[in-house]
Structure 1
C-alpha cells in the first residue's frame, strides 16, 4: 500500500473550508484508492499547516492514476492559486 500525505499552508487560512470542499471532490476518483481524508486545522490545537490530505492507494499505479486523473489535475490547478506552500510525503507500507 502507498500512503500519500499532503499538507498545505494557505495564503488566506479563512479559505480552508473552500479548499477542503474542492479537494473532497477527488474522493473515489480511481480504483485502488483505499483511503481519502481531508482535514482542516482545529483552532486551539497545534498545527503549522491549514489543510491536510491523508490518502492510501493499493500500489504506485493507483496513486499515479489519481495524480493524472483530469478531475485531480483541474482541482490541483485551482488549489495551487490558494496555497502558500505544499509538503508531500509518499511512502510504502506492508
Structure 2
C-alpha cells in the first residue's frame, strides 16, 4: 500500500473550508484508492499547516492514476493559487 500525505499552508487560512470542499471532490476518483481524508486546522490545537490530505492507494499505479486524473489536475490547478506552500510524503506500508 502507498500512503500519500499532503499538507498545505494557505495564503489566507479563511479559504480552508473551500479548499477542503474542492479537495473532497477528488475522493473515489480511481480504482485502488483505499483512504481519502481531508482535515482542516482546528483552532486552539497545534498546527503549522492549514489543510492536510491523508490518502492511501493499493500501489504506485493507483497513486499515479489519481495524480493524472483530469479532475485531480483541474482541482490542483485551482488550489495551487490559494497556497503559500505544499509538503508531500509518499511512502510504502506493508
RMSD value, Cα? 0.1
TM-score (norm 1): 1.00
- Structure 2 Cα separation of the partners of residues 30 and 38 of structure 1: 17
Query: 5+ unaligned residues in a row in structure 2: which ranges?
Result: none
Deviation at 1:15, TM superposition (A): 0.3
- Structure 2 Cα separation of the partners of residues 65 and 79 of structure 1: 19
Q: Which residue of 1 aligns with 2:31?
A: 31
Question: How many equivalent pairs are there?
Answer: 94
- Deviation >3 Å, runs of 4+: none
Deviation at 1:4, TM superposition (A): 0.1
TM-score (norm 2): 1.00
SS at match of 2:89: strand
Query: 5+ unaligned residues in a row in structure 1: which ranges?
Result: none
SS at match of 1:48: coil
